[in-house]
Structure 1
Amino acid sequence: MTRAESPVVGQRLSAERPLLLASGSPRRREILENLRVPFIVRPASADESTRDGEDAAAYLARVVLAKLDAAWAAGGSALENAGAVLVADTSVIDEGAILGKPGSIDEAEAMIARLAGKTHEVWTRFAIGRASAAGGTLHEQTVVTRVTFRPLTAARIRAYAESGEGMDKAGAYAVQGLGAGLVARVDGSYSNVVGLPACEVLVALEELGLVP
C-alpha cells in the first residue's frame, strides 16, 4: 500500500469535480452510489491475461496500473474535470492459482467444482490516481477476503454454471446473486468479494482529503 505524502487539500470531490471510475462494472458503480461519493463512469480496459510465473500480487499490481494508464491515456474533458481516478481489479485465488472469468459453461462448472467445500481467497486491488499521469498515483491497496463454499453436488454445480450468472465474474460466481447459495462463510469484507472494498476505499478517500 502506498499513500500520498500529504492530503489533496482543497480538492474535495464534488459534482463539478467527481471521482472518475474507470470501470464498467455495475457492481462497483452501485458500491460507490451507496457510499454517496460523487462519481462518473468512464471504463478503461487493460490486458487481464496472466503471465508465466506471475503470482497473484504481481498480477494485480500490473493490471491495476495498466488500467490507470489506460484511463489517463483516454484523456478527454471528463478526465480534465475529475477530482481523481479510481481503478480496480478482482481475482479469485485458490491454492495460489488465479481463477479468472470462465470462457465457457464447462469451464465455469470446473471452477465451481474446484471451489466446492473449500476456502479460497478473493483479492481486490484498487488504485486512486490524480486526474493526470503527471500527478501520479495517490494510493494503492490490496484487500483480501476468505470465502468458504459449502459442499456441492455435481447437479447443483452444473445448474449454477448453466444459469450463466458467473460467466463474467472471476471464479465463475457472484456472491451477491444466485451464488450466495454456494457460500457458507465470508471472512472479511463482503463488498470486496462483490468487486470493491467499500470501507477501505472510503478510508483512502478520507485520508487523501477527497471526501469529508
Structure 2
Amino acid sequence: MPSSNVLPHALQTLAIKKLTGKRVVLASASPRRKAILSVFGLEPEIVPSTFEEDLPISSFGNIHEYPVATATHKAVEVYERLVEADPDNAPDLVIAADTVVLSHALPSTSQTSYSMLPEVKQELYEKPTSKEDNFRMLLDLNGGVCEVVTGLVVVYPILTSPGYMIKSIDERSLVYFADNSRELIEAYVESGEGLALAGGFAIQGRGGALVRKVDGDYNNVVGFPAASFFPTAGHVGRRRFRLLGHLEDPPPWGLLRALLIGKRFNSSMWHTDTDVRKHSFGVLVHGDVG
C-alpha cells in the first residue's frame, strides 16, 4: 500500500483528494521541485529518472517542444521501470519536469501577449561552463528578458494497451532583469550559485537580486509550475483522448517524431489545447517509448 503522500496542510482540492492514498512518484532528484510540491501539501516518492537527457535540439522545429519531450522520456522511463520491478505496486501517477531558459525579445509592455510578440529565433541558455561563461550570460540578460519554459508530464495507468496514458503541458514565464551594476553581477557570479543552473541564476536565491519582475508563474521559474500541475492532476482520467483520424487540428509532429524515432509503434491517440500562455497535449503510444 502507498504511504501517506498528502500532508495535513494541503488544500482539499479535487487533485489532492484524487491523489490521497495513491502512489505518487516524482521522477526527479531536484530539491526545488520537491519543495514546491511540499508547500502545496504533496510529498511524492522520489525516483530519479535514468534518461540521459540528450535529445538533439536541432530535431525540434519548435524549441518549446524540447523540454516536453525530455520530461516525457523521464516520466515513461520511471513508470516502466517501477512496473517491471513490481507489477502489483505500479505507481498511480508519475510526475516529471524539465525546465529550460530561452532568450526572448523584450516586449514593449508587460501586457503584450505571447501571440503578439515578435517572431524571432530563440537561443537556449545552458548551464554555465565556468564563472566567465556565467558572467557573460548574465551580462547578456542584464536589463533584458528571458523566457523560462517547463515541460510538465504526468503518466498514469489505463486499462488499454500499452497500459498508461501521458498528459503534458509546457508552461512559460517571462523573467525581466533589472539594469544591474557590473559590481553586482560580478559578486553574484563569484558566489557560484548560478553555475549549476540553466540561465546561470537562481531566482529563489541570491539571484533574485538581479530580477525586476516575473510575468507568469513564479514557481515555474524555480522549476515546477504548480499552478498548472494541480488542475492537470485533478483531471487525470476524466478526459478521453480521441483517435488521431478524428481530430481537426494537426498534431505536434516535431514532438511525436522526437519521441518515436527509432521506436516501434502501431497507432497513437492524442488531444491538444492551445492558448497564449501554454501548449498542452497528451500522447498515448502503442509500442516502445523512451
When normalised by structure 1's length, the TM-score is 0.84
Match of 2:164 among 124, 136, 141: 136
CA distance in 2, matches of 1:209, 1:102: 40
Aligned-residue offset at 1:78: 10
Aligned-residue offset at 1:138: 3.5
Higher relative contact order by CA 8 Å / sep ≥ 6: 1 or 2? 1
What is the match of residue 109 of structure 1?
135
CA distance in 2, matches of 1:167, 1:175: 13
What is the match of residue 97 of structure 2?
88
When normalised by structure 2's length, the TM-score is 0.63
Bigger drift between 64-73 and 182-191 goes to 64-73
What is the match of residue 43 of structure 1?
48
Contact 1:72 1:79 in 2 (8 A): no
Amino acid aligned to 1:93: L
For structure 1, the 5+ residue unaligned runs are 1-10
Contact 1:18 1:38 in 2 (8 A): no
What is the match of residue 124 of structure 2?
98
Q: In the alignment, does 2:106 pair up with 1:63?
A: no
Q: In the alignment, does 2:217 pair up with 1:189?
A: yes
Bigger drift between 184-193 and 65-74 goes to 65-74
Amino acid aligned to 2:130: S
Aligned-residue offset at 1:53: 5.8
Aligned-residue offset at 1:69: 2.8
Q: In the alignment, does 2:18 pair up with 1:12?
A: yes
Q: In the alignment, does 2:79 pair up with 1:72?
A: yes
Bigger drift between 159-168 and 84-93 goes to 159-168
Contact 2:68 2:98 in 1 (8 A): no
CA distance in 2, matches of 1:79, 1:138: 20
For residues 58-96 of structure 1, what are the alpha-carbon distances to aligned partners after superposition, in whole Å with 9 as ceiling and x for unaligned?
312321122123213432349934221000001111040
Contact 1:116 1:149 in 2 (8 A): yes
CA distance in 2, matches of 1:135, 1:174: 38
CA distance in 1, matches of 2:75, 2:28: 10
Match of 2:202 among 161, 164, 174: 174
What is the match of residue 37 of structure 2?
32
Amino acid aligned to 2:57: R
Bigger drift between 81-90 and 69-78 goes to 69-78
Rg larger in structure: 2
RMSD: 2.4
Q: What secondary structure, in the 3-state scheme, does the structure 2 residue paired with 1:63 have? A: helix
For structure 2, the 5+ residue unaligned runs are 1-16, 105-121, 239-290
CA distance in 2, matches of 1:19, 1:53: 32
What is the match of residue 107 of structure 2?
none
Aligned-residue offset at 1:201: 0.4
Aligned in 2, Cα 1:73/1:208: closer, same or farther, shift over 3 Å?
A: closer
Contact 1:127 1:137 in 2 (8 A): no
